[in-house]
Amino acid sequence: MLTKADSAAHEVDWTVLLTRFIFLITLLTISVLFILPFFWMLMTSLKAPVELMKWPPGWFPDTFRWQNYEDAVTYIPFFRYVGNTMAITLGSILGVLISCPMVAYGFSHIDWPGRDFLFVVMLMTIMIPFPVTMIPLYVLFARIGWINTYLPLVLPLFFGVPFYIFLLRQFFMTIPGELTDAARIDGASEPRIYWQLILPLTKPALATVVLFQFLSSWSDFLGPLLYLRDSDMFTIAVGLQMFHSEHDTEFHLLMAASTILTVPIIVIFYLVQRTFIQGITLTGLQGT
């Protein structure tokens, strides 16, 4: 048996090797194409203004002009925007951490009539396009005087995000029901089971949710664009867009600012890559 399979594998070996070699070359080419935009951003961020108008444009700056970074963070109140964005991001993370695991527990380890129906309702709400709720919510928040505050950006997250609830629920389902049932027989209350048994077991999933929310708050554009008026209140994404609409030719500064905006995310991603990929996998596959 074994030898048969072995020799069969041996005969086709070269075609397999050839395909793999072609794949490798293709992947290398694609990787280079994927990296080049970053490289161009980085190199532009170090060029002098006159070099931007060169034809054909060279990849490398004549001298590394680190000054651009200093200029970029002083042209716009960069650190103020970073601080604002951080405040919104932290508030949002707190919101989803309080609401989403709680709801996911109610949708997984407690058996109650109507649960599965409401869960389907929740999944269907993911399909609702944002513009449908955008206008009435804007009117509502305007009426209670929340325009130009961070409340419309943060508060809704304390009421759960269907996508994260779904992700956490899928994760909670991997914890055997016997475990929570045993705790119930021992007389533990539901809040206690949730707090002392489920939550400590689901730290990786919680980390994934934190990451997703960080990414979404950090990059969010439409939300802050709608609700923030004073430039003092702007987030970094809106600030960058404003800067672009006022100085749309100063790409050396725009690229420096974009680099500062992007690098923290890439560093964080690199540190927690595995959790992140697992999170995507969990929702992407179980969603089928």
Partner 1 sequence: MLPLFPIVNCLHGGEQMAAIRSIRESKIVRRKLMWGLIFISPWLIGLIGFTAYPIGASLAYSLTDYAIMSPPKWVGLENYVEMLTDDDLFSKSLSNTVIFALLSVPTSIAVAFGLALMLNQRVMGKAVFRTIIFVPTLVPSVALAIMWLWLFNPQFGVVNGMLWELFGINGPGWLTDEDWSKPTLLLMSLWTVGYGVVIFLAGLQDIPQSLYEAADIDGAGVAQKTRHVTIPLLTPVIFFQLVISIIAIFQIFTAPHVMTGGSGQPAKSLLFYVMYLYRQAFVYMKMGHASGMAWLLFLIILACTLVIFRTSGWVHYSGGERGTTTKT
DSSP 15-70: HHHHHHHHHHHHHHHHHHHHHHHHHHHHHHTTS-GGGGG-SSPPSS-SS--THHHH
Among 13, 29, 54, 67, binds partner 1 (CB under 8 A): 54
Among positions 183-242, residues that touch partner 1 (CB under 8 A) are 190, 194, 215, 218-219, 221-222, 226, 237-238, 240-241
Binder to partner 1 among 122, 175, 188, 199 (CB under 8 A)? 122
Tell me the C-alpha distance between 98 and 119, whole Å. Answer: 19
Q: Which stretch binds partner 1 (CB under 8 A): 54-62, 66-74, 76-84, 199-207?
A: 54-62
Residue type for 47, please? K
Residue 215 CB, shortest distance to partner 1, in Å, is 7
Q: Does 67 bind partner 1 (CB under 8 A)?
A: no
- Interface with partner 1, residue 285, by CB under 8 A: yes
287 belongs to the binding site for partner 1 (CB under 8 A): yes
Q: How many CB atoms lie within 10 A of CB 70?
A: 11
3-state secondary structure of 157: helix
| Cα separation, 41 vs 45, whole angstroms | 6
**Residues 13, 24, 67, 79: which binds partner 1 (CB under 8 A)?**
24
The count of chain residues that interact with partner 1, using the rule CB under 8 A, is 108
When asked if residue 271 is in the footprint of partner 1 (CB under 8 A), the reply is: no
Dist CA 53 CA 242 (whole Å) = 23
* Least distance between partner 1 and beta carbon 232 (Å): 19
114 binds partner 1 (CB under 8 A): yes
